[in-house]
Amino acid sequence: MQRCTYLPAMALAAMLALPLAAQAQQAPTPAGQRYFPEAALRGQLTITNSAEARLNNQAVRLAPGLRIFNPQNALVFAHSLINQPLRVNYVIEASTGMLLTAWILSEDEARQPRKGSDTVQTNIRTESDTPKTTR
């Protein structure tokens, strides 16, 4: 009886190669430039505490997995940015309305036009937001 001992090693090699294949399909960006997703909007962000911020002068909650990138594209902690006004591109998580990702912009990036709006869009409605119906 012959054992197939190489199968687990082959499976591991295939799993490790998948992320590399996905990276190879992305178009490279020129040196010094960052890629921002189409869904990213432009805005003014001020972190108020570890769970909340002001985005375009409206309150927004921070997602538990919030990622903030500095102009050099390194991750920074939200608590290190408390009360600092920041010009950012950002993505709001669609189902919760929480801030999911923010990129602090360099001066050159901030001068580039950005599709989208500077408004925060959430799925949270209050009683005063609901349309009034007349009888």
In which residue are the tokens 């040196």 written? Answer: 31
| The CATH number, out of the four listed (3.40.50, 1.10.287, 2.30.29, 2.40.50), of the domain defined by the range 41-116 | 2.40.50
Return mean pLDDT, the chain: 79
Convert the pLDDT of each residue in 78-125 to its tens digit.
Answer: 999 999 999 999 999 999 999 999 999 999 999 888 765 444 455 555
> To the nearest 10°, the Cα dihedral for 77, 79, 81, 86?
80
